[in-house]
Amino acid sequence: MTALWFIVFGSFVLSALALTLTVRKSIRGARQRETMSAAPAPLRETQRLTAAEDALVQWSPEMLRHILETELPDGDLIVVSNREPYVHERVRGRIQLQVPASGLVSALEPITRTCAGTWIAHGSGSADMDMVDANDRIAVPPSSPAYTLRRVWLTEEEYKGYYSGFANEGLWPLCHIAFTRPIFRAADWECYQAVNRKFAEVVLQEAKTERPVILVQDYHFALLPRLIREKLPEAVIITFWHIPWPNAEIFGVCPWREEILDGLLGSSILGFHIQLHCNNFLDSVDRFLESRIDREDSSVSYGGNATMVHPYPISIEWPEERRPSARGARERVFQKFGLPADMKLALGVERLDYTKGILDRFRALDEFFQQHSDWIGRVVFLQVAAPSRSTLPSYDRLHKECIRLVAEINERYGRDGYQPVILLDEHHDQSQLFDLYRAADLCVVSSLHDGMNLVAKEFVAARDDERGVLILSQFAGASRELPEALIVNPYDADQCASALQLALTMPAEDQRVRMRLMRNIVREFNVYRWAGRMLLDAASTRQRNRFRDRTESPIA
C-alpha cells in the first residue's frame, strides 16, 4: 500500500511540476512572441493566472480557438441560451433577420463564431420554422455561416410558464434589488422544469462526444447543468449567471431554492460577473444544502461533484479599427433628429426594463433642469428603449410610465423646435447604436441593479476620438472596472443632476484622460478573455479531477 501511495503521489507531484513549468514557459514564450508575431502562445494553467501574467496574454479569437484545441481537445462547444442570436420574423409578408437586444447575445455571438460551435436556443421568431433544415438547424450568420444554430420549439403554454412566468416574474426580480416583488407560481415551476428537461434532451442530441464543453447561459436554465451531468458525466459544463445573485436571505424566499441550487451544482464551473455575487451564492448553498464549501478555493463539493464558483466579468468584442469617423456619426445623428450643431446630446440605450433605472434618469434630468435652467434648450436626452418582455404587466406599466414622464418633461421644458427628451421605444440595429454612441456627448447608465452592463463598455469602445463622458451606476457590475466614469447612485436624483452638470462642462482634456483609461481596460479585458478564462479554469478542473480519480480510487 505504501509503495502504491508513493507511486501515485510521486506521479502527481511530477505532473503538477511539469504543468507549472509549462505555464511559466508558455507565459515567457507569450512574452517573447508578443513582440514578434500575433500568433497565440501555448497556454496552460495549474492555478489561476496572476494579474501580471494575464496582462501578457492577448485575448483574441485565435487565442480562444487555441485554448479549445490544446486544453480541451475533444470538447466540441455547445452554447445553450433562451434567446437565439438570429431571429427570423415575418413582417408584412417578407422574412426579416433580427439580432435581438440582449447583452448575452452580444457577448456570446463572437465566441460561438470563433469556435464553430453549436448554439441551442428557443426559436422565437414568426418565420424561424421556415428557415431551418429537417433537424431544426440553420447555419449562421446567414451572410457568412460560421456555426450552427439549433432551434428548440416551445408551446405557448411552455413559454408562458417557463420564460414569462418563472424566469421573468420569479427569478429576475428575485435576483435584482429593484423593489419589484417576485411572483412564484407552482404551474410556472412545472413548465420551467419541463423546458429544462426538453433542452437537456436537445443537448444530448447535439453532443458529438462524451465530453463536450457546454456553456449554459443564465437564469432560464438553472436545472440544466444537473440534467446534463446525469447523462454526460464527463462533460465540461460551464454555467454563467448573467444577473446578480441575491444574498441568502432574499434567495431563501424562492419556494424551490434547494432544487435550483442542486441544479446549478451540476456545473463544473459556475460564473458570475463579480466576487460579491459568488459570495452570495456560496452563502446560499451554505444555508440551504448539505455540502462542503471551500472558501479559499471558492468551490463547492456536493453529491460527488465539485463546482468552482468564480467571477468572470463579461465584456464585448473590441470594434474594428477604421470605422467611419466619430464626427461623421455625429453629423448623421444630428441631421436625423434635426438638432442644431451646438446642442449637447445625452444618451441612454437599453432594453425597456425596470432594473435599468430609466425613470430615475428622467427624474434626474428634471432635477437638473430645475437646478440649471440655463441648460434648457441646450441639451437633448435621447433614450433608446428596445421593447422587452412587453406581455408582462410590470413591463407594460414601465412603458406607460416612461411615456408619461417624458411627455411631462417635454411639456415642462420644451419650447418651439426644442424637445428635451426623445424616446425611441423601438428596436435599433447595431450600426445605428454605434452611431449614437459616437454622436453623444455623454451616456447615462443608471441601472438600479445590473450584473455587468454592456452598454457602458460599448459606449467606451465606440469612442476612438477619446471624447464623451460616461455616467455609471454604482450598482452595475461595470462600475468595478470603470471607476473613471462618473459613478452615481441612481436613487439620488440630486447627485445624478450634479453628474450631468459635471459631464456637460467637463474639459476635453479630462474627458480624454478618463476615456483613455477606460478604453484600455475594455480593450484588454474583452469578451475573449471572459470566455478564455472560463475555458482555462474548466481545463484545469478536468485535469485536477483526473488526478483526484487516480489518487482516490486505489486507496478506496
Whole-angstrom distance, CA of residue 249 vs CA of residue 284: 8
Least gap, CB of 509 to ligand GDG (angstroms): 29
Q: Which is nearer to ligand GDG, 95 or 99 (CB)?
A: 99
Cα distances (Å, whole numbers) of residue 240 to 11, 510, 531: 34, 36, 10
Residue with cell 456560496: 282
Cell matching residue 246: 441575491
Count Cα neighbours of 301 within 13 Å in the Cβ-side half-sphere: 6
Q: How far is the CB of 381 from ligand GDG (least distance, A)?
A: 16
At its nearest, how many Å lie between ligand GDG and the CB of residue 273?
Answer: 7
Residue 474: what are its φ and ψ, rounded to 5°? -70, -10
Closer residue to ligand GDG (CB): 243 or 285: 243
At position 32, the amino acid (one-letter code) is Q
The number of C-alpha atoms within 13 Å of 248 and in the hemisphere containing its C-beta is: 11
Of the pair 40, 182, the CB lying nearest ligand GDG is at: 182
- Please say which residue, 232 or 264, places its beta carbon nearer to ligand GDG: 264
| Whole-number Å distance between alpha carbons of 29 and 43 | 9
Task: Kindly tell me which of 263 and 477 has the beta carbon lying closer to ligand GDG.
Answer: 477
Min CB(111)–ligand GDG separation in Å: 12
> What does DSSP say about strands 236-240 and 379-386: parallel, antiparallel, or unpaired?
unpaired
Q: Rounded to whole angstroms, how far apart are CA atoms 366 and 397?
A: 21
Cβ pair 288, 256 in contact under 8 A: no
Q: Which is nearer to ligand GDG, 427 or 480 (CB)?
A: 427
Residues that bind ligand GDG (CB under 6 A): 99, 101-104, 106-107, 242-243, 314, 349-351, 384, 386, 427-430, 433, 450-455, 458
Q: State the burial class of residue 503 (Cβ atoms within 10 Å of its Cβ: 0-12, 13-18, 19+).
A: buried
* CB nearer to ligand GDG: pick between 164 and 291: 164
Q: 95 or 97, CB closer to ligand GDG?
A: 97
In the complex with ligand GDG, the residue whose CB is nearer, 284 or 479, is 479
Which of 134, 115, 131 lies closest to 123, judged by CA? Answer: 131
Report d(CA 136, CA 150) in Å as an integer: 6
270 neighbors 264 (Cβ within 8 angstroms): yes
Kindly state the smallest distance separating residue 431's Cβ from ligand GDG, in Å.
9
Strand partners, 382: 347, 422
Cα radius of gyration rounded to whole Å, the chain: 24
Q: What kind and span of H or E run contains 432?
A: helix 430-439
Nearer to ligand GDG, 285 or 527 (CB): 527
C-alpha cell belonging to residue 509:
482634456
Minimal distance, residue 454 CB to ligand GDG, in Å: 4
CB closest to ligand GDG, residue no: 103
User: Do 384 and 349 touch, CB atoms closer than 8 A?
Assistant: yes
Q: Nearest approach, Cβ of 270 to ligand GDG (angstroms)? A: 14
Can you tell me the distance from the alpha carbon of 556 to that of 542, in angstroms, rounded to the nearest whole number?
Answer: 20
Nearest to 442 by CA among 514, 534, 347: 347
Q: How far is the CB of 478 from ligand GDG (least distance, A)?
A: 7
Q: Are strands 305-311 and 344-351 parallel, antiparallel or unpaired?
A: unpaired
Q: How far is residue 454's CA from residue 314's CA, in Å, rounded to a whole number? A: 8
HSE at residue 397, side-chain half, CA atoms within 13 A, is 5
Min CB(453)–ligand GDG separation in Å:
5
By beta-carbon proximity to ligand GDG, the closer residue of 99 and 204 is: 99
Look up residue 436 and give its three cell numbers: 449614437
Inter-residue contact 42 to 24 (CB < 8 Å) = no
Closest distance of CB 388 from ligand GDG, Å: 8
Whole-number minimum distance, CB 231 to ligand GDG, in Å? 27
Q: Which is nearer to ligand GDG, 102 or 540 (CB)?
A: 102
Minimum CB separation from ligand GDG for residue 294, in Å?
Answer: 26
